Chains A and B, each alone.
Chain A
């Protein structure tokens, strides 16, 4: 049977709602440096035969608390269109760095969401990004790769059924073009690992019938 396509589209949107943003601040900022960031992108869907990303957007601000720690906050603007307030507040911590060569960072964050219109559904989820980055030819621009996961702390879900999955990992790889005042970040994510994407009706692009690929672009203005 051909599945109800519109309902599958909802499934994709819901999946994407949870993981609608690219990796945040793979590298820490300089101390007292601040940036504004705009990100755009989502899972790849087939539209008119061509793969295009669903356009999820976020706006964010980050501040270099020290050379090792950058605090950030982001507003998920597309979620607002669905009547939901969604934000993530977190910090990127430099774990190790060999300057202008490579390094490792971690970004623990708290994802916060609620339904604005009904004033219901207030939820928080911890999340973490683990990243490694590499500067080819020791230039400012860098390649990065990592893993991101939201953590579900609840032991039950709807109808008191047990919540069996507590980590929802996604993989990503990206390239950050670093200029003096601007930074362009391109990222490919593999979302929803292990979640069936119902082959045969797919309007989005996954691998082996599971998950979906997402493509993201971030524009970062440094101050």
Chain B
């Protein structure tokens, strides 16, 4: 090759923007063939003892059709409901938006724990695998994720849920959907918002890593901006975060979201020594349920 450098430069320009880190925001690396829930033996943040068992008759896994407003076709996603579906018309429901890792089997213990808020199966709990996660079809995208959570809201609404009985809970990446759909409601308007280890925005993620005022679009097209969206939230808001969160720093991420909230009531619970994903176990499961339960019933 006579002109290696110009050819290399041209090739780089041609492939420019081929590499983005968006897909790395969604960790779907652990592939499964079926949901095993209590029988899942993969890595989990914690495993609850037998006192937290849920009767199999109160656990349903089913398909939902999800379609974002700009999509031509729908995507089939998997959702899970803990509780008596026939009582959704009168029960309070916690809609759990899980983090960026793997699938519902990984988050099953967390959903099961939430199903013990104010007593076993006192509230219904719903979660879903976003598109591309677990056995849900498609590829994960930011707006697809919002559509998937909205698909759950549509299903809950069809079953009789009303706005005042919907509490939305987001953990880590799931705080994006929870905040977005509280700020810009879909089929239902959540009455309360709970964020565990939220990230402020992709900008903060980038700036925490670089220490510079560097724009996030150098690395990702994901535009998640919880710190901005939370300004539109008027519903009561509970923030949970570990003080030792090495991944999403509670000061640069969580506190920014908390401080931007302009709504009617806000509450925070900092968990000493808890790293990312350690909030329930470091808090103690009973204390965790007490804090979440007290927030839900607070007038």
- Residues of A whose CB lies within 8 Å of any CB of B are 1-15, 17-18, 36, 59, 75, 77, 79-84, 113, 115-118, 120-121, 123, 125, 150, 152, 154, 156-159, 161, 163, 165, 168, 192, 195-196, 198
Contact partners of B212 in chain A: CB under 8 A: 18, 125, 150, 152, 168
Q: Mark B1-31, 1 if CB is under 8 A from A, else 0.
A: 0000100110011011111110011010100
**Residue contact A154 to B213, C-beta cutoff 8 Å:** yes
Contact partners of B25 in chain A: CB under 8 A: 6-7, 10
**Residue contact B204 to A158, C-beta cutoff 8 Å:** yes
Roughly how many angstroms separate A34 CA and B188 CA in the complex, as a whole number? 66
Interface of A is mostly: mixed
Asked if B86 lies at the interface with its beta carbon under 8 angstroms from chain A, I say no
CB of A205 to closest CB in B, whole Å:
17
Contact partners of A79 in chain B: CB under 8 A: 218
Roughly how many angstroms separate A80 CA and B17 CA in the complex, as a whole number? 7
Asked if B43 lies at the interface with its beta carbon under 8 angstroms from chain A, I say yes
Q: Of the candidates A59, A82, A154, A161, which one forms a contact with B5 in the assembled complex, judged by CB atoms under 8 Å apart?
A: A59
**Residue contact A10 to B214, C-beta cutoff 8 Å:** no
**Residue contact A81 to B19, C-beta cutoff 8 Å:** yes
- Nearest CB in chain B to that of A165: its residue: B211
Contact partners of B214 in chain A: CB under 8 A: 14, 17-18, 113, 121, 123
Contact partners of A120 in chain B: CB under 8 A: 215, 217
Q: Of the candidates A8, A36, A161, A168, which one forms a contact with B211 in the assembled complex, judged by CB atoms under 8 Å apart?
A: A168
**Residue contact B218 to A80, C-beta cutoff 8 Å:** no
Roughly how many angstroms separate A97 CA and B218 CA in the complex, as a whole number? 40
**Residue contact B16 to A83, C-beta cutoff 8 Å:** yes
Roughly how many angstroms separate A109 CA and B290 CA in the complex, as a whole number? 56
The 8 closest A-B pairs by CB, nearest first: A83-B17, A121-B215, A1-B277, A158-B203, A14-B209, A11-B209, A154-B213, A117-B17
**Residue contact B213 to A163, C-beta cutoff 8 Å:** yes
- Nearest CB in chain B to that of A79: its residue: B218
CB of B12 to closest CB in A, whole Å:
4
Roughly how many angstroms separate A217 CA and B8 CA in the complex, as a whole number? 19
- Nearest CB in chain B to that of A80: its residue: B12
- Nearest CB in chain A to that of B242: its residue: A1
**Residue contact B247 to A198, C-beta cutoff 8 Å:** yes
**Residue contact A115 to B213, C-beta cutoff 8 Å:** no
Asked if B101 lies at the interface with its beta carbon under 8 angstroms from chain A, I say yes
Roughly how many angstroms separate A161 CA and B207 CA in the complex, as a whole number? 11
Contact partners of B277 in chain A: CB under 8 A: 1
Q: Of the candidates A9, A75, A81, which one forms a contact with B16 in the assembled complex, judged by CB atoms under 8 Å apart?
A: A81
Contact partners of B278 in chain A: CB under 8 A: 1
**Residue contact A115 to B215, C-beta cutoff 8 Å:** yes
CB of B99 to closest CB in A, whole Å:
8
Asked if B71 lies at the interface with its beta carbon under 8 angstroms from chain A, I say no
Q: Of the candidates A18, A77, A117, A161, which one forms a contact with B252 in the assembled complex, judged by CB atoms under 8 Å apart?
A: A161
Q: Of the candidates A2, A125, A161, A168, which one forms a contact with B43 in the assembled complex, judged by CB atoms under 8 Å apart?
A: A2
